[in-house]
A and B are shown apart, each in its own frame.
Chain A
Amino acid sequence: MFSILIYTALLVSSLGIFMLLSKKHILSILIGIELFLNGINLFFITVSKSYSNDAADIFILFILVITACEVAIGLAIFLVNQRINKTIDINDLNKLKDF
């Protein structure tokens, strides 16, 4: 059971990383980051089973709340970006360059 949970956590995290790197749509990248984070959360719960303390339960609640706040701010930024730049493709964000 322990190893199944660890492998599931790794699978979810790597799916998130794959999505983060391959997608071009802004929201898909955000979902990729969230998936990565939730894989880490699952890993955390699994690890905390082997220690007999319940730090992980509280920790994960905090992490979820923090990410919710962060996503709210991110969506606000994307909305303004869509209104001003008229794009949701990450490749079109190329106004600022070194040269």
Chain B
Amino acid sequence: MIMNVLTFLLPEIILVILSFALLANSIVNYKRKIMANKTMILVGIIASGFFILKTPEGFYLNSTFENTSSTKIIKLLLIFGSLLSLSLISNSKTDQLKKYLDEYSFLLIVSLVGGMLVVSSREFFGLIISVELLSIPLYLISGMGLDPSKSIEAATKLFFFGTLSTVFLIFSAVLFYSLSGSTYFVDINWALDDYIIILASIFLLATISFKCALYPFHFWVSDTYEAAPINMLPFLSTIPKISIIAFLLFFFDGLVAELLNKKIIFIVGFLSVISIFFGSLLVIKQNNLLRLLAYSGIPHAGIMLIGIIVPSSISLDFIILYFTFYIFANVGLYVCLNCLPTVIENFNLDKLNGLYERNPFLALSISCFLLSLAGAPLFGGFWGKFNIALISYKAYGVFLPSAILLSVLISFYYYLKIIRAIFNHKQFNQVENIDFSMINKIIITICVFITIILGINPAILQILT
């Protein structure tokens, strides 16, 4: 029995052992400490990714968690994204990050384990604990930025909203329990025509909106992105968002497949449309680069949410395609921004002026990631947005695709604003050198390669399955 559970949980167990090894490494003091840290992260995460491919499919731990082929793919994506962001941390240039390297890696890996458990949880117990495991390290990390007074303020705000969203999640679990007398997701009777099930879904969606920064609960996102250490942003912008949305995909599986409760589907659709619309409007006014990118994640989460409510067997593949391009474009973009000289005050768009003449490779990579996020053809983002618009048109008519099209139009405006600053002929107005080490080059090349390959032939993703 125990050996059986171990085979299912082996990837997570390896990651937990790795995190405690990193914590032990932080206590002792010797010469090649940073090297040991890098080696441990690389070996541990690759071993965990290898064992994900080997784990059997099915339910485990009293049907609390489930492994299927799609959860395996999403977990692999999460692991690969965190490997890229962790190798960025171990290559950081500021002294503060070098000093607390092991603690940072420990917190991020614990958060990754939480994200992996969220994806496969099938019961409210497991879900609440995994969501906490995912979000508590992030409160601490966001308080470790370069400007202490700003980042501790951001951590305080994030802590309050995060705690409140957990309370909402518990409340929705209690309401679902009061209907069915069971804490399993399969026992929820979606066809019930009762206002309590709608109330419970609204509270669950409020939690999701907090964690993914959807429109009505988005206010923490810009503050946290501005004040958190920039090395954390590849992790912070992808892993929580993708794991929570993947969870929602499996949670609403029974509801969406047979369109059992039209009211709840309408609420989810409404949430995604207002996120797309108001999120796009919020970005237009921004001039600070980090706040702009933070807000630009809101329409993306809205589009992913539209993909969830489409009753089609093929929608899962398209959402995984969206996840893939989103992870690699975001990670690559933030790695590029991290190569620039450190900016503690406002990171305005004019700080990027003349970057193309200073370093063409960096400028072209940033443009490639931005065009991919905007949804230009020949990049991965185009297929992500196009496919979701297409399947939502087949299911619900012309309204949802036109919302996506509107968001793409506005997103071209604000992403091209950044690209215009990069290709400006003004002098690059910062004296510090651009830190362009080998490992950053490797990460950027991998991300550019995957973005362009996905744009040319998105069917290549089927290799994973």
Interface residues of A (CB under 8 A from B): 20, 26, 29-30, 33, 36-37, 40, 43-44, 47-48, 51, 53, 55-56, 58-59, 62-63, 66, 69-70, 73-74, 77-78, 80-81, 84-85, 93, 95-96, 98-99
Contacts of A43 in B (CB 8 A): 174
B55 within 8 A of A: no
**Bound Cα distance A69, B227 (Å):** 24
For residues 165 through 208 of chain B, which have their beta carbon under 8 Å from a beta carbon of chain A? 166-167, 170-171, 174, 177-178, 181-183
* Chain B residues with CB below 8 A from A85, complex form: 149, 152-153
Q: A33-B160, A77-B155, A96-B153 are in contact. List 16 more A-B contacts (CB 8 A).
A: A55-B177, A55-B182, A59-B124, A63-B128, A63-B170, A69-B132, A80-B143, A81-B155, A84-B148, A93-B156, A93-B157, A95-B149, A95-B150, A96-B226, A98-B285, A98-B291
Interface pair A84/B152, CB less than 8 Å apart: yes
B416 at interface by CB-CB < 8 Å: no
Q: Which of A44, A74, A93 contacts B163 (CB 8 A)?
A: A74
Given A77-B139, A77-B143, decide whether A96 and B156 contact each other with a Cβ distance below 8 A: no
Chain B residues with a Cβ under 8 A of chain A: 124-125, 128-129, 132, 136, 139-140, 143, 148-150, 152-157, 159-160, 163-164, 166-167, 170-171, 174, 177-178, 181-183, 222-223, 226-227, 285-286, 291
Residues in A with CB closer than 8 Å to B129 are 62, 66
Known: A59-B125, A59-B183, A63-B128. A81 touches B164 (CB 8 A): no
When the two chains form their complex, are residues A62 and B170 in contact, meaning their CB atoms are under 8 A apart?
no
Could you give 22 example pairs across A and B, Cβ below 8 Å? Answer: A26-B156, A29-B160, A30-B163, A33-B167, A37-B167, A40-B171, A47-B177, A59-B125, A66-B128, A66-B132, A73-B136, A73-B159, A78-B156, A80-B152, A81-B153, A81-B156, A85-B153, A95-B150, A96-B223, A96-B227, A98-B285, A98-B286
Contacts of A99 in B (CB 8 A): 285
- Nearest chain B residue, comparing its CB with the CB of A74: B159
From residue B298, how far is it (CB to closest CB) to chain A in Å? 14
Which residue, B128, B129, B171, B174, has most C-beta atoms of chain A within 10 A? B174
